[in-house]
Chains A and B, each alone.
Chain A
Amino acid sequence: MKGMTVIVKKVTQFMAPVIFIFGIYVVLNGHLSPGGGFAGGVIMASAFILQILANGEILDKLRKEESGLEFLESTAILGFLVVAALGLLLSGSFVFFSNFLKQGVIGELLSAGIIPLENIIVGTEVCAAIATIFIALVVFKDEVTK
């Protein structure tokens, strides 16, 4: 895949980190404001996608990253399940998905127990999954058009 012009590359270089940080913000504030793990994860993945579109020539390097992304994705899902299943053990009454951490004050960043934790995990998983899907599609198109 070919890259785009210098202008696009330069603008992307400025924009991608901002988009990524905004994604992290949406994930971390998932329990306080609209958004959350899924939406934030998609925003984070869109920063990667922007980079790939602008700098198409890095695609060959990315093929090797695919298995790493798959690893990250599986680990995140497993982490989600582990946090949910810990509720079975820690809640005292064997409740799956129980909120076993301290709830804190409503409206503060560190509150709502396991929900921010699960949001971070969902964000990681969605970011890795969307990036994997995108890379797979680009690689597929690359191979078909060859």
Chain B
Amino acid sequence: MNAMIPLFVIVPLAAAFFMAILGRFIKNFSKILLNLELLFLSYLALHFILNTQGILAYRVGGFENAGDIPIAIYLVLDGLSRLILLVISLIGLLAAFYSTSYTRQFTQERKYYILFSLMIAGMNGLVISGDIFNIFVFLEIAAIASYALVAFGIEKQQLEASFKYQVLGGMASLIILLGIGFLYWQTGTLNIADFSRLPVSGPFVKLLAIFFLVGFGLKAAIFPFHSWLPDAHSSAPSPISAMLSGVLIKAIGIYAIFRIFFSMFALSYEIAMVITVLGTLSMIVGGLMAIGQWDIKRMLAFSSISQMGYVIVGIGIGMILLATGGSKVIAGFSIFGGLFHLVNHSVFKGLLFLNAGAVEYATGTRDMRQLGGLAEKMPLTASTSLTASLAISGVPPFNGFFSKLIIIVAAVSAHFYWLAFIAVVVSIITISYFMKMQKYVFFNTPQTDYKNFRAIPLPMNLSMIILALLCLLLSLLVLPQIRDIFITPAVDALINSLQYTAVVIG
């Protein structure tokens, strides 16, 4: 069983280079291979969720531990990484299927699919990696592929956005690498489990925590580090925007932050408080900035910052409770809310970006002021977009309602009344700007007569329909039977973070 863990990295990497070699000779080879690859990865992730339990550790190269010092590179699969792997592969599959028609406009389609596959390899590798240096390596694979993908249209605006993203992303990587350097200098280990049992404390640990929080916070676009995100996510091709906003910032940002601060460092009240406050600020700032936007994708990008705030706040409250010895039940409930919202956000934000892509594909513009009345011309896009808008604003019975409700209830039961109040207010702000988008894009009187209107091809429609159905179906995750399969193992992995060390070093 464990032997299949490296496949999460081998398959996307091998597929990427097969595309590079054979893709130029065989037509549509890259498209088909990418879809098959992601189908296989989704199956594999689902298989691991349904059929395995607990923490699985795999030693690359088969090196045994010397005494109790781990030498080999560890790949570790726990509840949290299983959940994130499933999200990556599933959203990736739908975005790749959507791309099959969307990328006809590009001249170098093959390179798009190679970069897409490399990005998947990077994210998968980061999620299963058990040591901090490999997290950095895979982070760079995913990030560099995403820089190239943001600039894929090579127009002025896209190149500018990609450049900005590269400069800030490069700074983040440098800060992370500096942190890793300090860590190795002081402790002589890079293994997460090995580090967590060392008796280190004092200013050194605080310095490391700051390095990692800033570095991965930049990748996750948490509040003071968010300035690159609106440009990068709105300039990329739409399926890539869906991947960046839906998956990438979660895998290389949020996941890495919580893996490090739960499994590697001992939980501390100060760090937990800093994370929660930054999450709250992202929630407010992202929401307020989104109201004034007229570019659909730019608005969605700001909304991503705001919604990631909810995820961070949910898990942050859990962190505070665990660090101060509060109720484990409420902490678990709160973390569940955060992870549930993470899954939900990747579905509805992915869908909203695909909708925006469809609107741009059909009409050639994404400025809300030049659109209107599209509900009659493209009913499928309009209805799926309405579904996603209602889901993200937290209207029952869609999935967003339940996750936001859980986060708010958890905040109230942990006595963070102000936080709960802010979460409700931001939710109202969210519904206001999504209703604005619905009105201007789909329901207003048309501003033009849409001369160059193009019909949406089947693969694009199909991806959007499946995601819209998921928006509804994921509400079922609140039911205990289904929750126990998918999300509870991830919550347990975060709460019982001591187990991680015990199993890996064992």
Asked whether any CB of chain B lies closer than 8 Å to the CB of A95, the reply is yes
Given contacts A91-B62, A98-B62, contact A71 B3 (CB under 8 A): no
A36 to B17, CA, bound (A): 23
Q: B20 to A81, Cβ gap below 8 A? A: no
Alpha-carbon distance between A77 and B141 when the two chains are bound, in angstroms: 14
Q: Which residues of the other chain, B, contact A93 by a CB distance below 8 angstroms?
A: 62
- List, in ascending order, chain B residues with CB within 8 A of A78's CB: 14, 17-18, 21
Whether A70 and B6, one on each chain, are in contact in the complex, defined by CB atoms closer than 8 angstroms, is no
- Alpha-carbon gap, A93 to B64, bound state (A): 13
Docked-complex contact A94 and B3, CB < 8 angstroms? yes
Partner of B60, one of A70, A81, A97: A97
Let me know if B13 is at the binding interface, CB within 8 A: yes
In contact, A97 and B61 (Cβ under 8 angstroms): yes
With CB as the reference atom, state the residue of chain B lying closest to A76: B17
Determine the distance from Cα of A4 to Cα of B173 in the docked complex, in whole angstroms. Answer: 40
Contacts of B10 in A (CB 8 A): 81, 84-85, 96
Instruction: Decide if A88 touches B3 in the complex (CB within 8 Å).
Output: yes
Contact A70 B61, beta carbon cutoff 8 Å: no
Among A71, A93, A97, A98, the one with the most B-chain Cβ atoms within 10 Å of its Cβ is A97
- Let me know if B6 and A81 touch, CB within 8 A: no
Q: Given A74-B21, A75-B21, A94-B3, do A81 and B62 touch, yes or no (CB 8 Å)?
A: no
B17 with A95: CB separation less than 8 A: no
Q: CB-nearest residue of chain A relative to B10? A: A85
Residue count of chain A within 8 Å CB distance of chain B: 20
Look across to chain A and name the residue whose beta carbon is closest to the beta carbon of B5.
Answer: A96
Of chain A, the residue at the smallest CB distance from B4 is: A94
Cβ-defined contact, B17 with A74, below 8 A? yes
Count of interface residues, chain B, beta-carbon cutoff 8 Å: 16
Contact between B3 and A81, CB atoms less than 8 A apart:
no
Bitwise, A46-88 to B at CB < 8 A (1) or not (0) is 0000000000000000000001001100110110011011001
Q: In the assembly, what is the distance between CA of A99 and CA of B60, in Å?
A: 11
Which residue on B lies nearest to A74, using beta carbons? B20
The CA of A99 and the CA of B61, in the complex, are separated in Å by 7
Q: How far is the CA of A78 from the CA of B21 in the complex (A)?
A: 9
Q: With A88-B3, A94-B3 given, is the CB distance from A77 to B17 under 8 Å?
A: yes
Task: Identify the closest chain A residue to B1 (Cβ).
Answer: A94
Q: Are B21 and A71 in touch, CB under 8 angstroms?
A: yes
Contacts of B24 in A (CB 8 A): 67
Q: Determine the main DSSP class of A at the interface with B.
A: helix
Closest chain A CB from B109 CB (angstroms): 16
In Å, the complex CA distance between A104 and B3 comes to 27
Taking a contact as CB atoms under 8 Å apart, the answer to whether A70 and B20 are in contact is yes
What residues of A have a CB within 8 angstroms of the CB of B3 in the complex?
88, 94
Q: Mark interface residues in B15-28 (1 if CB within 8 Å of A CB, else 0).
A: 00110110010000
Q: Which residues of B contact A97 (CB under 8 A)?
A: 60-62
Bound: A97/B73 CA distance, A = 11
- How far apart sit A74 and B17, CA to CA, in the bound complex (Å)? 6
Question: A95 to B13, alpha carbons, bound, how many Å?
Answer: 18
Shortest beta-carbon distance from A17 to chain B in Å: 29
Docked CA distance A78–B12 (Å): 11
Note all chain B residues with C-beta closer than 8 A to A88: 3, 6
Contacts of B59 in A (CB 8 A): 95
Contacts of B14 in A (CB 8 A): 78, 81-82, 85
Contact A96 B60 (CB under 8 A): yes
Q: Contact partner of B61 among A71, A74, A98, CB < 8 A? A: A98
Given A78-B14, A81-B14, A88-B6, are A95 and B21 neighbors across the interface (CB < 8 Å)?
A: no
Minimal beta-carbon separation of B4 from chain A (angstroms): 8
Most buried by B among A74, A88, A99: A74
A78 to B2, CA, bound (A): 23
Report how far A74 CA is from B3 CA in the complex, Å. Answer: 26
Please indicate the chain A residues that have their CB under 8 angstroms from the CB of B2 in the complex: 94
Measured CB to CB, the nearest residue on chain A to B59 is A95
CB distance from A31 to the nearest CB of B (A): 15
Could you tell me the distance in whole angstroms from the C-beta of B206 to the nearest C-beta in chain A?
36
Task: Report the bound CA distance from A88 to B60 in whole Å.
Answer: 10
**Cβ-closest chain B residue relative to A78:** B17
The list of the 7 closest CB pairs from A to B, nearest first, reads A94-B3, A74-B20, A95-B62, A96-B6, A78-B17, A97-B61, A74-B17
Given contacts A75-B17, A78-B18, 14 further A-B contacts (CB under 8 A): A71-B20, A74-B17, A74-B20, A77-B13, A78-B17, A81-B17, A84-B10, A85-B14, A94-B3, A95-B61, A96-B58, A97-B60, A97-B62, A98-B61
Give the interface of A toward B (CB within 8 A).
67, 70-71, 74-75, 77-78, 81-82, 84-85, 88, 91, 93-99
A–B Cβ pairs within 8 angstroms, 13 of them: A74-B20, A77-B17, A78-B18, A81-B10, A81-B17, A84-B10, A85-B10, A85-B14, A93-B62, A94-B3, A97-B60, A97-B62, A98-B62
